[in-house]
């Protein structure tokens, strides 16, 4: 602080000499709009700007900047869910990989399906590297889909990376006659959904764009209740749940072949599911395929970590590096595996490139996808 103040005072003293005043003397205006007043004012402003901009505080290395500080990690979902679990585990291990070893403090900020947190990160949060966030994978696409309440430019967010890229799977209970996606195209199949959920959106899209015959029953609060209903025989299946979530919630179903995997809602096949086809392959036509592809893009960021727009580039790179090191840390991976948490990292650069590609989608395709992704907008 003393060095920064000395630098500013030195610059001001130099300015006084430049314009013919002795240091310490007042710069007397010659009228509020006079040329001399304006020149001196602009000169003083410029000197102060240069002095502050070149001060030690502004020129700090990431290590010096974060030393002794803390970072708020804004989590856009509630305590106890999948997003929260990933974010808190990452925070615990990421501290030791950060320059300056700042504390990382998780803070949940729920509301509007993640928009409250995203709007806060983009418009309110400090942009110096002391605030980062983890947001739902669909949130960066909300401006593209014209969702009301999205008050940020997704292409200006600084994407840091993600612990995994999500793949959603369509499946039925083992007793159901619907055992393949072709069966689903030829036979009405009752499936459980939560009203307004991504599963409900995907069910409607598959019916319209891929010829499925899903009869969605929306009387279930969430996926947990829907899976229980399937086990009880109330419904036959479930349209799209994250593969990582299914493995964590019902590993015995997979091990004991209690379900039929019909298809994957993703851009590419999951490495563990080489035999399950992509829904993309069943699209009715090229426009339907492009629409499904855009919808599948929303899953690819997984659980993305972001920094606010305008954050210093060197600190963004340091955050990206620390997150990458965390996701490849053997201790972190072992801990995640013990919790049945899938780790398949995506870099910040990869997510940023994906977003550029998504926002280059022709408007008619984006509007068609928005019909399913934000039906109540």
Q: What is the pLDDT of residues 26-63, one digit of tens each?
A: 333 334 333 334 444 444 444 444 444 444 445 689 99
Residue 118's nearest CA partner among 141, 102, 98, 87 is: 141
Do residues 120 and 133 both lie within one domain? yes
Task: Note the pLDDT tens digit of each residue in 277-331.
Answer: 999 999 999 999 999 999 999 999 999 999 999 999 999 999 999 999 999 999 9
Among candidate residues 268, 297, 326, the one where a domain is terminated: 297
CATH number, position 91: 3.40.190.150
Do residues 74 and 124 both lie within one domain? yes
Residue 305's nearest CA partner among 155, 156, 87, 119 is: 87
Do residues 293 and 308 both lie within one domain? no
Cα distance between residue 36 and residue 229, in whole Å: 80
Residue 181's nearest CA partner among 171, 191, 190 is: 171
Do residues 284 and 341 both lie within one domain? no
pLDDT at position 112, please?
87
Among candidate residues 297, 328, 354, the one where a domain is terminated: 297
Do residues 180 and 135 both lie within one domain? no
| Confidence category of residue 340, pLDDT binned at 50, 70, 90 | confident
Give me the number of domains the chain comprises. Answer: 3
Residue with tokens 């629409």: 291
Residue-number span of the structural domain to which 245 is assigned: 168-297
Give the DSSP H or E segment for 103.
strand 103-108
Among candidate residues 13, 28, 53, the one where a domain is terminated: 53
pLDDT at position 261, please?
97
Range from 12-16, 68-72, 198-202 carrying the lowest mean pLDDT:
12-16
Do residues 181 and 136 both lie within one domain? no
Domain annotation covers residue 59: no
Task: Give the contacts of 195 (CB within 8 A, at least 6 positions apart).
Answer: 218
pTM above 0.85, yes or no: no
pLDDT of 178 > 70? The answer is yes
CATH number, position 191: 3.40.190.10
């Amino acid at each position: 602080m003393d060095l920064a103040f000395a630098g500013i005072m030195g610059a001001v003293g130099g300015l006084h000499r430049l314009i013919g005043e002795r240091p310490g003397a007042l710069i007397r205006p010659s009228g509020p709009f006079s040329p001399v007043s304006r020149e001196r004012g602009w000169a003083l402003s410029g000197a102060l700007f240069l002095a502050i901009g070149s001060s030690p505080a502004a020129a700090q290395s990431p290590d010096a900047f974060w030393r002794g500080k803390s970072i708020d990690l804004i989590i856009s979902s509630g305590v106890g869910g999948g997003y929260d679990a990933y974010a808190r585990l990452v925070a615990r291990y990421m501290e030791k990989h950060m320059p300056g070893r700042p504390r990382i403090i998780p803070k949940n900020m729920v509301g509007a399906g993640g928009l409250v947190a995203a709007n806060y990160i983009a418009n309110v949060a400090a942009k110096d590297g002391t605030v980062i966030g983890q947001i739902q994978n669909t949130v960066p696409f909300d401006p593209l889909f014209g969702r009301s309440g999205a008050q940020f430019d997704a292409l200006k967010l600084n994407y840091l990376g993600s612990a995994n890229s999500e793949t959603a799977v369509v499946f039925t209970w083992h007793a159901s006659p619907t055992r393949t996606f072709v069966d689903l195209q030829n036979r009405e199949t009752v499936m459980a959904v939560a009203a307004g959920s991504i599963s409900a959106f995907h069910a409607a899209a598959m019916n319209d764009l891929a010829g499925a015959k899903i009869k969605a029953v929306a009387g279930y609060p969430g996926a947990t209740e829907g899976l229980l209903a399937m086990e009880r025989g109330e419904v036959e299946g479930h349209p799209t749940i994250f593969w990582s979530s299914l493995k964590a919630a019902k590993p015995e179903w997979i091990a004991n072949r209690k379900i039929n995997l019909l298809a994957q809602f993703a851009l590419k096949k999951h490495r563990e599911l080489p035999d399950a086809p992509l829904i993309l392959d069943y699209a009715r036509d090229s426009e339907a395929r492009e629409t499904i592809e855009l919808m599948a893009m929303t899953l690819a960021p997984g659980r993305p970590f972001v920094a606010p727009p305008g954050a210093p580039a060197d600190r963004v790179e340091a955050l990206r590096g620390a997150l990458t090191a965390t996701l490849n840390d053997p201790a972190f991976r072992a801990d995640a595996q013990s919790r049945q948490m899938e780790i398949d990292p995506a870099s910040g650069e990869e997510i940023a490139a994906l977003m550029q590609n998504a926002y280059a989608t022709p408007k008619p395709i984006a509007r068609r996808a928005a019909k399913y992704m934000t039906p109540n907008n």
